Structure 1
Amino acid sequence: MTVAQPDVTVVIGAYEAMPYLVECLASVEAQTIGPERVEVIAVDDGSTDGTGEYLEEFAERASPRVTVIRQENSGGPSGPRNVGLDKARGRYVFFLDADDRLGPEALERMVAMADRAGTDVVLGRIEGVDRGAPKSMFGRTVERTDVHSSNIMYTLSAQKLFRRALLERHGLRFDESLYTGEDALFTMEAYLRANGVSVVADHTCYYLVGRDDGKHVTKSGSYVLRFDSARLLMDLIADLVPEGPRRDRLMVRPFAITLLPQFGPRFLKDDDRVRRHKLELAKPLTDAHWTEGVARHLKVEERLRLHLVAGQRLGLLLDAVRFTASKKQAPALLERRGRRLYLVYPHFRDRAAGIPDTVYLAEPREARAFPGYRGGGTPTVLRRAARRARRLLTSAKKVTPEARAATAA
């Protein structure tokens, strides 16, 4: 007898997941979508704490169809996810971490959204439990958007609903050579190749759980791995998005979220060898992808540090990082009758440093927080009309009597 295709395959990669796995699996079984519409593929990645045994017990009694695969430890989350994805039969795939849990009705709502909107990726609102969670992209429910028109690039974790046809069409899989940032690479490519992305913001679909033992599926890795992750994400964006404002905006994600923290307060604790090595690792990234367009999307403090990283100016960079670590507010300098605002971070207008004023120039979205700033507003129709009238009047006054006479003749 042919078994009907499930609507969604829930892929769970599990490593040393007890006791969190208990609530994780309970949240799957409690889904309102209906057990016949769901299949679960759980991959035990060489656990020794009873994770594999509990998965097998669950498979025997659970209402949804559950397949348990047990394997030697792969060293990271990519391997188990790929194994599960290769076995998936559902129209959609959802990647669930074994220490997290689904919200009530999550799968039903996300599948309904994808079917209604015809989109390839659905983000469900995430809530943190004893840890932070992304928020900026969940301001409202959106049936159809894309990575260029929203803030979804700031959530690149794999806990999304993906149309499996999209993943198969483009051969999308997790990079098993990466031990950090593998989900960012996968999700960004899915965003860029998707025929639309939906956002379910009016219902919590996913609970991101902070473990008491501080352990998670993903290994933290050394700083070198962070640079590898940033490089691959930058290269992906450069390969799939032509040069211009759209690419610049997306490049903010790897620069600000992945690369910049390596030159934050922790940089002060690094020894000189590590500091120089980090600059060395950053050089090919900034040479290839750091542009004025990217810089304009950043706050002044972030832009300054990355400008100094790009210039390989270790001494000045240390000064900027110390100021960042102090958590002081940089003084504001207003010029041009309040229409231009500079933030006076270290080495502003220091001739010896030679850092351009534009590095310190606050963009309107940052400058508006400072009293006295008058720039960045969009002119009203009346203001534009008045300016045009003044230009025409000025032009008329510049016409010489001889020219008027010639025109009259």
Structure 2
Amino acid sequence: MGTTATTNTPDVTVIIGAYEAMPYLVRCLESVEAQTLPAGRMEIVAVDDGSTDGTGEYLEEFAARTAIDMRVVRQENSGGPSGPRNVGLGLARGRYVFFLDADDYFGEEALERMVAMGDRAGTDVILGKVIGVNRGAPKSMWSRTEERVDVHRSKVIYTLSAQKLFRRDLLERIGLRFDERLETGEDALFTMEAYLRGAGVSVIADYTCYHLVGRDDGKHATKRGSYVLRFDAMEAMMALIHRLEPAGPKRDFLMVRPFTVGMLQQFTPGLLKQPEEEQRHKMELAAPLMRSYWTNGVARKIKVAERLRLACVARGRLDLLADVLEFLRAKKVPDLVSSDKGDKLFLAYPHFRDEEAGLRDADYQVTVPDWHGTDRVTRPKRILRSAPEQPSTPRRIVRRLRRELRGWRARLSTS
């Protein structure tokens, strides 16, 4: 137990779930103590999830000397980040909460800036710019600072990690907690629901609020879980979006996220190196999700190379998918084909207009900004007016031989 909590409501409760977090925890806690937000306006709730490396002891030592109100909970290992975060949320008193991973650390002005933004804009979720340290981090959503973004048009759906400022009143009012049944993707589910059920989302892009650290020991939580668990996470996300968002273009926009950052990642060219049994198992896991959630509206919001792979998965055609993946792995550039009227463009990846494959022209049509090699598709330098010749199938070979045989017989009869 740290210092005794005051009766005043803090602006922020920083919730830290920690497991085997040394030595990263040292800088993490120092970054909280270094905040320009005064110590009296925040509190820390830290949950040691059964660590054996001194994490729990260090948390108690820090709590004993910091000027910040701090509570330390030590518990048996729960198996994932959801349990500790939920425990911390249950003890939080702040107007806002921030889920700080024990590996990571704040920029000094992070909490002050995010609280000011939330209070000024009246929003329930505030995103502070994130950069990676020894790892990658999302970038597309940090183009500009905005007091209020439209979730149905914004890139914020591509950052669904829990490291954000959430208004605690929203979380309590809707009873939002992390799903402890999920072993991966639980933070994405939590954040998406807060986006959709809250009173708006703000973005701070002109100051680095959060440093996302890649651990040298490879024990970062995002590395956990087999592909089966990732399909479970996809299903939960797709079901959530369908439950909260009515059918239409807004839902289609949101559904692009689990299909491209989720489903598509299971069907990359790397699939070709995996055992055939695993390839087929992934197709089986994907089948019910494709039947329930894959629609034309979603498909038209995705680039051709990605959409075509998903179309093959939706049809259960691992053979067609393998041809497309081989094409992509070889870094080939598909021909660009125009419709007869010139009003549509297609990227002729494998099996384009191959009747026996059963894929539709719509699977190949350019419907969003796309690329043809290094050129933008919107102003192609050369367009084919018809489909490129497809590799001959045995049936086509037989038909051609029969035509040649008839011609040979006709020539003999007139000679």
Fold in common (TM above 0.5): yes
For 1:276, the equivalent position in structure 2 comes to 280
CA distance in 2, matches of 1:275, 1:290: 20
Displacement of 1:329 after TM fit? Answer: 2.8
Give CA-to-partner distance per residue, 1:110-146, whole Å, 9 cap, x none.
Answer: 0000001111000000111111111111111100123
Which has the higher mean CA deviation after the structures are superposed, 77-86 or 313-322? 313-322
Picking from 377, 380, 402, the partner of 1:370 is 377
Displacement of 1:80 after TM fit? Answer: 0.6
CA distance in 2, matches of 1:233, 1:261: 15
For 2:390, the equivalent position in structure 1 comes to none
Displacement of 1:354 after TM fit? Answer: 2.2
> Any gaps of 5 or more consecutive residues in structure 2?
382-415
CA distance in 2, matches of 1:320, 1:258: 19
CA distance in 2, matches of 1:20, 1:364: 42
CA distance in 2, matches of 1:208, 1:348: 43
Displacement of 1:338 after TM fit? Answer: 5.6
Alpha carbons 2:133, 2:213 under 8 Å: kept = yes
Q: How does 1:281-292 map to 2 (within 5 A)?
A: 281-292=285-296
CA distance in 1, matches of 2:136, 2:291: 33
For 2:402, the equivalent position in structure 1 comes to none
Secondary structure (helix, strand or coil) at the match of 1:288 reads helix
CA distance in 2, matches of 1:351, 1:157: 43
Alpha carbons 2:303, 2:366 under 8 Å: kept = yes
Alpha carbons 1:264, 1:324 under 8 Å: kept = no
CA distance in 2, matches of 1:236, 1:341: 34
Secondary structure (helix, strand or coil) at the match of 1:17 reads coil
Which has the higher mean CA deviation after the structures are superposed, 356-365 or 136-145? 356-365
Q: Where does structure 1 differ by over 3 angstroms across 4 or more consecutive aligned residues?
A: 334-339, 370-374
Alpha carbons 1:334, 1:373 under 8 Å: kept = no
1:94 aligns with 2:79: no
Alpha carbons 2:132, 2:211 under 8 Å: kept = yes
For 1:192, the equivalent position in structure 2 comes to 196
For 2:407, the equivalent position in structure 1 comes to none
CA distance in 1, matches of 2:245, 2:379: 39
Alpha carbons 1:339, 1:373 under 8 Å: kept = no
Alpha carbons 2:98, 2:163 under 8 Å: kept = yes
Displacement of 1:337 after TM fit? Answer: 7.2
CA distance in 2, matches of 1:364, 1:193: 28
1:15 aligns with 2:11: no
For 1:394, the equivalent position in structure 2 comes to none
The amino acid of 1:18's aligned partner reads M
Q: How does 1:112-131 map to 2 (within 5 A)?
A: 112-131=116-135
Taking structure 2 as the reference length, what is the TM-score of the superposition?
Answer: 0.87
For 1:317, the equivalent position in structure 2 comes to 321
Picking from 325, 333, 344, the partner of 1:340 is 344
**Corresponding residue pairs, total:** 374
Give CA-to-partner distance per residue, 1:152-194, whole Å, 9 cap, x none.
Answer: 1000000000000000011100011111100000000000001
Secondary structure (helix, strand or coil) at the match of 1:365 reads coil
Q: How does 1:188-337 map to 2 (within 5 A)?
A: 188-218=192-222, 220-335=224-339
CA distance in 2, matches of 1:373, 1:326: 22
Taking structure 1 as the reference length, what is the TM-score of the superposition?
Answer: 0.88
1:137 aligns with 2:173: no
For 1:150, the equivalent position in structure 2 comes to 154
Alpha carbons 1:119, 1:198 under 8 Å: kept = yes
Picking from 40, 51, 55, the partner of 1:51 is 55
* Cα gap change, 1:218 to 1:133, in 2 (>3 Å): closer
Alpha carbons 2:126, 2:204 under 8 Å: kept = yes
* Cα gap change, 1:371 to 1:300, in 2 (>3 Å): closer
Alpha carbons 1:24, 1:102 under 8 Å: kept = yes
Picking from 163, 174, 178, the partner of 1:174 is 178
1:76 aligns with 2:83: no
Secondary structure (helix, strand or coil) at the match of 2:154 reads coil
Give CA-to-partner distance per residue, 1:223-248, whole Å, 9 cap, x none.
Answer: 11000000000000000000111111
Secondary structure (helix, strand or coil) at the match of 1:125 reads strand
For 2:38, the equivalent position in structure 1 comes to 34
> Any gaps of 5 or more consecutive residues in structure 1?
375-409
For 1:403, the equivalent position in structure 2 comes to none
The amino acid of 1:100's aligned partner reads D
Alpha carbons 1:179, 1:219 under 8 Å: kept = no
The amino acid of 1:330's aligned partner reads P
The amino acid of 2:140's aligned partner reads S
CA distance in 2, matches of 1:88, 1:371: 52
Displacement of 1:268 after TM fit? Answer: 1.2
Alpha carbons 2:125, 2:164 under 8 Å: kept = yes
CA distance in 2, matches of 1:50, 1:268: 43
CA distance in 1, matches of 2:131, 2:220: 17
Give CA-to-partner distance per residue, 1:332-389, whole Å, 9 cap, x none.
Answer: 2244576432112111111211211111111241167037449xxxxxxxxxxxxxxx
CA distance in 2, matches of 1:242, 1:152: 20
Give CA-to-partner distance per residue, 1:65-95, whole Å, 9 cap, x none.
Answer: 1111111111111011001000000000000
Displacement of 1:217 after TM fit? Answer: 3.0
Which has the higher mean CA deviation after the structures are superposed, 86-95 or 51-60? 51-60
1:357 aligns with 2:364: no
Query: RMSD over aligned Cα, in angstroms?
Result: 1.6
The amino acid of 2:331's aligned partner reads K
CA distance in 2, matches of 1:85, 1:322: 47
Secondary structure (helix, strand or coil) at the match of 2:221 reads coil
CA distance in 2, matches of 1:35, 1:63: 6
CA distance in 1, matches of 2:330, 2:73: 50
Displacement of 1:259 after TM fit? Answer: 1.0
CA distance in 1, matches of 2:27, 2:262: 31
Which has the higher mean CA deviation after the structures are superposed, 360-369 or 229-238? 360-369
Alpha carbons 1:338, 1:373 under 8 Å: kept = no
For 1:393, the equivalent position in structure 2 comes to none
Displacement of 1:197 after TM fit? Answer: 0.7
CA distance in 2, matches of 1:2, 1:316: 64
